[in-house]
Amino acid sequence: MFSYWEQQSFSYYDHIVVGAGIVGLSVAIELKEHYPDARVLVLERGLLPTGASTRNAGFACMGSATELLDDLQYTSEDEVVSLFEARKKGLELLRKRLGDDKIGYRADGGHELLSNKELYAVDKLDYLNNLLKTVTDKPAFKIANERITEFGFGGAYAAGLIENTCEGGLNSGMMMRALTDMAIQLGIEIKTGAEVVRYEESPAQVYVEVKDPFRNELWILHCRTMTICTNAFTKQLLPDVDVIPGRGQVLITQPIPGLKIKGVFHFDKGYYYFREIDGRVLFGGGRNMDFEGEQTTAFELNKLIQIDLEHKLAEIILPDTHFQVAQRWSGIMAFGQTKYPIVKAFSPRVFGAFRMGGMGVALGSRTAQQLLEIIQATEH
């Protein structure tokens, strides 16, 4: 049973945000900055954000050339440009809000490694640059074949290299630490180990049921608005939404003396990605090897994909270089029928911002801004 004091002082809030990842904390910060006297609570079911916010590769990316060309087969030019712009603006907002030093942002640039079957992209660079010029104010992509040898890539795969001029890398842990610190400094409450199991809505408020793991009881919270920012796990609260989980496999090496690569890299239409961090190589991806198996919210390692990552690391990224794998992990992203995030009001008091399509670092801050605008319009 909960005490009188607990019910009196810890049960009533103006805004509750479910999920303490990039989007959830960004939404909470937006709410608190625009409603400074409001009580804002963030609920996170894990000790740390559960999905991908602290388990990603730290890519500040807008999309590689082959990925954008692939998107253009299914969506319009206007839609591709709009999403590219949203990613760019979101990253700019994140950097402005927290500062590059606090998120470990490095403008080392990005590159896409091309195989022989992807060299068609080289002939499309002028088209892409022209398409995106109103957003970038500079060529988004440049041929950089001369750097293949400099980076030491394996010649059997590396037929071409494209520089992605708008990209950079950051430290995901520092970013989430900075977002958390900012939220706390603003007076936002964050409760971890607090799983929201269901909610009910009345004309006046939302009743949020939270599982108390210690007392094995349900804790009923009350709020004026509730925002769901649980990305791949959203179906647990909104079972009808178009969200498909996509697990990403990741590994990182021990430090490698004389490591040649700098910056962030993609290949195979963005399904593989790697970077240098602290003198190590972080390498992830490969879900296209087993789409069905990786459409899961289970945090497990896929042995087949992990073996494939090691093989590609040895053959393509670090040929003739000794390395040892230091850690392996997985993160859960969210995808759907389109690459646009879901940002909407589900009712007058329940809102959602989720399905980042593996681009939460770039999209999260701008998505939170858009969600705040929806909340303000609804409340007025």
Name the amino acid, one letter, at 179.
L
Could you tell me how many residues make up the chain? 380
**pLDDT tens digits along 335-355:** 999 999 999 999 999 999 999
Q: What is the DSSP string of 72-141?
A: TTTS-HHHHHHHHHHHHHHHHHHHHHH-HHHHT-B---EEEEE-GGGGGGGGGHHHHHHHHHHHHSS-SE
* Residues contacting residue 88 through CB under 8 Å, at least 6 positions apart: 62, 135, 136, 166, 362
Span 352-371, average pLDDT: 95
Residue 380 scores a pLDDT above 80: no
**pLDDT tens digits along 79-99:** 999 999 999 999 999 999 999
CA 29 from centroid of its chain's CA atoms: 17
Backbone angles phi, psi at 53, to 5 degrees: -60, -40
Compute the radius of gyration of the chain from its Cα atoms. 21
**pLDDT tens digits along 306-318:** 999 999 999 999 9
Domain spanning 4-53+174-242+338-379, CATH architecture? 3-Layer(bba) Sandwich (3.50)
Above pLDDT 90, what percent of the chain? 88
Span 40-58, average pLDDT: 90
Query: C-alpha angle with apex 20: 337 to 350, nearest 5 degrees?
Result: 60
- Domain 105-169+243-335, CATH 3.30.43.10 — does that match? no
Rounded Cα distance between 329 and 282, Å, is 11
| 226, burial (CB in 10 Å: exposed 0-12, middle 13-18, buried 19+) | buried
Calculate the alpha carbon distances from 149 to 121, 153, 305, 310 in Å: 20, 6, 27, 21
Span 130-159, average pLDDT: 93
Rounded Cα distance between 4 and 213, Å, is 20
Structure token pair of residue 151: 């980076």
Residues of the chain with CATH 3.50.50.60: 4-53+174-242+338-379
Name the amino acid, one letter, at 200.
E
Residue 155 scores a pLDDT above 80: no
Structure token pair of residue 173: 């842990």
Rounded Cα distance between 353 and 342, Å, is 6
**In this structure, are residues 226 and 350 in contact, taking their beta carbons and an 8 Å threshold?**
yes
* Residues contacting residue 380 through CB under 8 Å, at least 6 positions apart: none
**pLDDT tens digits along 170-229:** 999 999 999 999 999 999 999 999 999 999 999 999 999 999 888 888 999 999 999 999
Q: Of 279, 98, 84, which is closest to residue 164 (Cα–Cα)?
A: 84
Neighbours of 119 (CB within 10 A): 11
Name the amino acid, one letter, at 92.
E
Residues of the chain with CATH 3.30.9.10: 105-169+243-335
Instruction: Give the neighbor-by-neighbor strand order of the sheet with 325-335.
Output: 141-143, 160-164, 110-114, 264-267, 272-277, 280-285, 244-253, 325-335
Backbone angles phi, psi at 220, to 5 degrees: -95, 115
